[in-house]
Amino acid sequence: MAEVRLVDIEKKYGNFLAVPKQSLTIHDGEFLVLLGPSGCGKTTTMRMIAGLEDITSGDIMIKGERINDKPPKDRDIAMVFQNYGLYPHMTVRQNIEYPLKLRGMDKASRKDRVMETAEKVELDALLERRPSELSGGQRQRVALARAIVRTPSIFLMDEPLSNLDAKLRVTMRAELKHLHHELGVTTVYVTHDQMEAMTLASRVAVMREGRIVQLDTPKKIYAEPADLFVAGFIGSPSMNLIDGAVKGGVFRTDGVEVPVDLGDRDGVVLGIRPEELEITQDTDAAIGGKLYALELTGESTLVTLRNGPTSVCARGHADFEADIDSPCHLVPKDGARFHLFDRASGERLR
C-alpha cells in the first residue's frame, strides 16, 4: 500500500508563497499528473514529496507514515528528472546499478537485476556506454531504468519527456503507460503538456498559482472544466471561450446566438470545444462570421472564423476548402456541450 497524502502542505520562499496550504491524496497504484503552466508550483510540490525541498508547514504521509523529516533516501521513492540527472562519469550499467549498490545488494544479484531492467527498457546493448555517447531518448531510458531497478513504492517524474522530440515523446509516452500498467507503482507525474496528462493519468490535478484548481479523471476534466482557466488549458486546440450576455435564454454576442439554460445575466463566457462544432451552409446558423484561417492538421482542418472581436475555431473535414474572408457558418453538433462561466470570477455557471 503506497498511498501518498499531502495534508495542509504549504511552501514559502521568504515572503513569497509558492504553494498555498492545500491537501491531496494520491491513491495506491494511481498515476496522478500534476498539470499546469510554468511556475504554478507543480515541481515544487513534487520536490516536497521527494524531500528535496523542505515544507514550510503541513505533513506528508507515505504509507500512513509521516515523512516530513526523513531524507530523500529513506522515503522509498525514485525520481526521473527533466534533465535526466545521470552520472556522466559512470557507464549505463553503473548508472542503473548505483541505487542497488547503495542499498548493499550483492554483486551477483545486482548484475542480474541490472540486466533484467535494461532489457525492459531496451538498453541491454548499451550497458558499457557512457551517457555522453547516448541519444536523448536513450538517456531518458537510462534515467527510467535507474528509477525502476529497485522497485520503489512511488515514482516521481518531473517532466521526463519535455526534452525529447515530438515523435520520441509519443513513443516514450506509450512506454511509460505500459510500464505503469506492468509495475502498478504509485506514480506522480509533473507536466505542462495537457496531452501527456490526458493520455497518461488516472487522475489529473490542474494547478494554477500554487493551488489545485481541479482534481479529477482526464475524462471529467475535459467534459466539465471547473473554471475558465481549466477550460482554456485542457484540449488541443483549446476550447472556444466567447464573451457575451444571456437574455431570454439565449447567449448573444457578435455573430453568435446560442440557446442556453441560464437566466438573464451579463458578463458570461460561453465555452464550446472546436470538435463539437461543424461547418454548415445554413446562413441562419448559430455562429457566423468571415473565414479567418484554415489550418490542415492531417486528419482534419481547423477552421477559424471571426466576427468583430469574436473568434471561433471548429474542427472540420480534412478536405474542407474555402477562401479566406468568405462568409462561414458553424453549428453545434448534436449533443454538443455548452459550458458557461462567469467572466469576473471565472467560475463555472453551468
Partner 1 sequence: MKKTLAYLGERALLTLISVVLLFPIAWMFLTAFKQPRDAYSLSLNFEPTLQNFVTVFSDPWNLGSMVMNSVIVATVTVLIAVPCAALAAYSFSRFRVKGRKFLFFLILSTQFIPAVVIVLPFFLMFRQLDMLDTRLALIIVNLAIVTPFVIWMIKGFIDAIPTDSEEAAMIDGASRLRVIKDIVMPMAAPGIMTSSIFCFILTWNEFLFALILSRRDAVTLPVGLVSFRTERGDLWELMSAAGVMITVPIFIMALFIQKHFTRGMTAGAVK
Binding site for partner 1 (CB under 8 A): 50-52, 71-73, 75, 77-79, 81-89, 98-99, 102-103, 130-134, 136, 139, 143, 146, 163
**Least distance (Å) from partner 1 to the CB of residue 258?**
46
Which CB atom, from 154 or from 198, has the smaller least distance to partner 1? 154
Are the beta carbons of 143 and 134 closer than 8 angstroms? no
* Closest separation in Å from C-beta 335 to partner 1: 44
Q: Which is closer to partner 1, CB of 131 or CB of 274?
A: 131
Going by C-alpha positions, the residue among 42, 8, 31 that lies closest to residue 192 is 42
Cα 24 from Cα 31, distance rounded (Å): 14
Distances 77 to 109, 159, 186, 189, 307 between C-alpha atoms, Å:
21, 17, 10, 13, 53
Nearer to partner 1 by Cβ, of 146 and 339: the residue is 146
Q: All 3 cell numbers of residue 307?
A: 466576427
Cell of 65: 507514515
116/347 with CB nearer partner 1: 116
CB of 131 to partner 1, least distance (A): 3
- DSSP states of 301-336 as a string? EEEEEEETTEEEEEEE-TT----TTSEEEEEEPTT-
Residue 98, all three cell numbers: 548505483
10 Å CB burial of residue 13 (0-12, 13-18, 19+) is: exposed
Q: Nearest approach, Cβ of 141 to partner 1 (angstroms)?
A: 14
Specify the residue, 168 or 336, whose C-beta has the smaller distance to partner 1. 168
Name residue 270's amino acid. L
Q: Which is nearer to partner 1, 142 or 207 (CB)?
A: 142
Q: Which is nearer to partner 1, 109 or 345 (CB)?
A: 109
Question: Minimum Å distance from CB 343 to partner 1?
Answer: 41
Q: How far is the CB of 143 from partner 1 (least distance, A)?
A: 8
Least Å from the CB of residue 262 to partner 1? 49
